[in-house]
Amino acid sequence: MRAIEIFAPAKLNLFLAITGRRADGFHDLVSVAATLDFGDTLRAEVREREVGGGEWKLHCDDATVPTDETNLVVKAARAFAAVTGWPGKGMGVDFSLMKRVPMGAGLGGGSSDAVAALRALNALSGLALGAAELAKMAAGLGSDCALFLHDGPVVMRGRGERIEVLPTGASTRLRGRRALVFKPGCGIATPWAYGRMASKAPSGYLLAAEAEARLAAWIGGDGAAEALLFNNMESVAFEKFVALPTLLEQLRDEFGLVARMSGSGSACFAFLPDGMDAAVIGQTVRAAWGPTSFVVEAKLR
C-alpha cells in the first residue's frame, strides 16, 4: 500500500463535567462524547525522501491551518516513528489535509486529524499495531485524542484518556440523531477556558460523585438524548462570550430546542426533531452571529 485516505470526524461533548484540577495541571473530567458523520479527510502517501528533506510533509487546503511542527498530524507522525522506527531511511510520507472542522471550536478537529494520521501510518507501514498501542500514542498527543479510536459514543474519564464504550441501550438513544452544529466567527482557546475555570475553583467544578450519579441515571433510564446534555464549562465561556447564551436562549424560546456548547467552545449544537428544517435554524444562527458563522447539519455516529 502506497497511499490511504482516512476520515477524521468531528465530535460533540454531549455531557461534560469538569470535576477538579489535578496535581499535574490537567483537569479531571467525566464526559460522554460522540463522533459525527462530518469531519476532515486526511490522505497519506509514501514517497522517497529527497536529499536533505524531512520525513514528513503536510499540505492543507485551508491556509490558516499551520502545517509545521506545531500541527498535531506532524506530532502524531513523529510519535509513531519514535515508537516503531517507521518509515525507515530514505522514505517519507506526504499528508494532505482537507480541513472542514473549524479551529477553536471544541469539536476536536486537530485531535481527530492526529488519530487519522496514526491510523494511516499504521496501515501504510503494515505493522498492524493493536488498539492498546495506538491508544497509548493517542493519549500522549492530547487529552481527547483517544476517543477518536472508537466509532460510537464513549465515556471519557481522567483527563480524557480513559475511554469506555457506552452501553448498547444508551448508545442506541444517541446514534443517528440529527444535530445542527454552529459556531460564531470567534473561537475560544482551550487553555484560557480551563485557566478561567481553575481561577474560580471550586465553584465551577462538579463533584465527581455527582457527575457519575447523573451519568449513571441517564444510562440506566430511558431518557432521550436531550436529557443527557450538560456542560459546566459553559459558565466560564458564557461570561465573556455573551452572544453564545443569548442565541441558545433564543433557540429555546422560538423553536423549543435544547442547545449546548461542545467542549470548551465556541461551537454549540442542538438536536433536531424529525421534520424540523435545519435551514430555518441556520438562518436564525446567521442572523444572530453574522453571515460568516459556521453552520452544518450532521448525524451522531
Cα–Cα dist 259/242, whole Å: 15
The neighbour count for residue 130, using CB atoms within 10 Å, is: 10
Q: How many CA atoms lie within 13 A of 75 on its CB side?
A: 17
User: Tell me, what DSSP letter sits at residue 124?
Assistant: H
128: left (phi over 0), alpha (psi -120 to 50) or beta: left
Quick one: which of 148, 141, 237 has its CA closest to 189?
Answer: 237
Rg for the chain, CA atoms, rounded: 20
Cα–Cα dist 8/280, whole Å: 28
Q: Which residue out of 57, 75, 99, 144 is catalytically annotated?
A: 144
Residue 99 annotated to the active site: no
What cell does 144 get?
Answer: 481527547
Cα–Cα dist 211/114, whole Å: 29
Cα–Cα dist 117/167, whole Å: 28
What number of H helices and E strands is found in the chain? 9, 11
Residue 11 annotated to the active site: yes
User: Tell me, what DSSP letter sits at residue 292?
Assistant: T
The position carrying cell 457519575 is: 212
In SS3 terms, 135-187 reads as HHHHHHHCCCCHHHHCCCCEEEECCCCEEEECCHHHHHCCCCCEEEEEECCCC
3-state SS, residue 17: strand
The residues that are catalytic are 11, 144
